[in-house]
C-alpha cells in the first residue's frame, strides 16, 4: 500500500470534449478538458487521467494538442491513454507532457509492447488500463475486454494483469464495466481479486456514486480511487472525498 491514497478524476475525451456515459454507452457532454484539468488541479486532485475513448488516428493530433495545453496548466501527474498502439505513441505523449501513458487494447493484441515500453521509458510511466467485466467462461470470473469494452479479448482479466506486471507495467488502472456509471459503488469483489495477485499500485475505477463509496474500495486494496461524472457534474468534491477517507483513518495528501 502506498503511503497516501490518491484521489483521481478521469476525463473521458471524445473529439476534444469530455463525455460521460453509463456502462460505456449513452455519452453526454461534460465540458472542455483543459478547463476541467485546470479546475481539478486547483481543487486538490492528486493526479489526472485523460482517456481518449474514441482514439482513432484522425483524432490523434487533437489529443496531442490537448495534452500539451493541459500539461501547461496543471502541476500534478497526468496519465493519458486511448489509442496507444506503439512505442512511438508512448514517446509522443510523454513529449507532449504526459507523466504516464495508459495502454489497453494494443497490449492485449501485442503483449510485447508492454515489455518494450517499460524497458525504454521505465515501468513507472507505463500503466495497464484494463476494462473488466464478469464472465463465467473465465477462471477468475472476470474477463478483459478490448475496444472500449465493446469486444471480449478471450483473456482472463486477473491472469492478464499478472502477465502485464511481469512484463514491466508499473500501475494498473482497473475499470469495472459492470459498475461503470451506475453510481452503486466500486466493484469490491474485482478489486479484492486483483489485489491478491498484483503488487503494483492499483487504481480502482467505475461505480463511485457517493462520498462513502471510496473508503471501501481502499479497504479492498486500491491504492488510488478514480471517479468521473460525480466530480464533473458536481455531485461531490475531491475535498469531500478526502475528508471522508481521512475519517476512516486512511492517509490522504
Query: CA nearest 126: which of 68, 166, 155?
Result: 166
12 is catalytic: yes
Catalytic-labelled residue, pool 12, 46, 213, 223: 12
C-alpha cell at 63: 489529443
Residue 91 neighbours by CB distance under 10 Å = 14
DSSP for 28-95?
A: EEEE-HHHHHHHHHHTT-S-EEEEETT--GGGHHHHHHHHHHHHHH--S-EEEESS--SHHHHHHHHH
Distance CA 11, CA 18 (A): 6
Catalytic-labelled residue, pool 14, 52, 131, 156: 131
Residue 226 neighbours by CB distance under 10 Å = 24
Asked whether the beta carbons of 116 and 103 are under 8 A apart, the reply is no
Residue 46 neighbours by CB distance under 10 Å = 19
91 is catalytic: no
Query: CA nearest 82: which of 60, 110, 61?
Result: 60
Could you give the residue numbers annotated as active site? 12, 131
Amino acid at each position: 500500500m502506498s503511503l497516501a491514497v490518491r484521489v483521481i478524476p478521469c476525463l473521458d475525451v471524445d473529439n476534444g470534449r469530455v463525455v460521460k456515459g453509463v456502462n460505456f454507452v449513452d455519452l453526454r457532454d461534460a465540458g472542455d478538458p483543459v478547463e476541467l484539468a485546470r479546475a481539478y488541479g486547483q481543487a486538490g486532485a492528486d493526479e489526472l487521467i485523460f482517456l481518449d475513448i474514441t482514439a482513432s488516428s484522425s483524432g490523434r493530433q487533437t489529443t496531442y494538442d490537448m495534452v500539451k495545453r493541459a500539461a501547461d496548466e496543471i502541476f500534478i501527474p497526468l496519465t493519458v491513454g486511448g489509442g496507444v498502439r506503439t512505442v512511438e505513441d508512448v514517446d509522443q505523449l510523454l513529449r507532449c507532457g504526459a507523466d504516464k501513458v495508459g495502454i489497453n487494447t494494443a497490449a492485449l493484441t501485442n503483449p510485447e509492447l508492454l515489455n518494450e515500453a517499460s524497458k525504454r521509458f521505465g515501468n513507472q510511466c507505463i500503466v495497464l488500463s484494463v476494462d473488466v467485466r464478469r464472465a463465467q467462461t473465465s477462471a477468475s470470473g472476470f474477463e478483459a475486454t478490448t475496444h472500449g469494452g465493446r469486444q471480449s479479448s478471450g483473456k482472463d482479466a486477473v491472469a492478464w494483469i499478472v502477465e502485464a506486471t511481469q512484463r514491466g507495467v508499473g500501475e494498473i488502472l482497473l475499470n469495472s464495466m459492470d459498475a461503470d456509471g451506475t453510481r452503486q459503488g466500486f466493484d469490491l469483489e474485482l478489486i479484492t481479486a486483483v489485489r491478491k495477485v498484483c503488487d503494483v499500485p492499483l487504481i480502482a475505477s467505475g461505480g463511485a456514486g457517493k462520498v462513502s463509496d471510496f473508503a471501501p474500495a481502499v479497504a479492498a486494496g486500491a491504492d488510488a480511487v478514480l471517479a468521473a461524472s460525480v466530480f464533473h457534474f458536481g455531485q461531490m468534491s475531491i475535498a469531500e472525498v478526502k475528508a471522508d477517507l481521512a475519517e476512516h483513518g486512511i492517509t490522504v495528501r
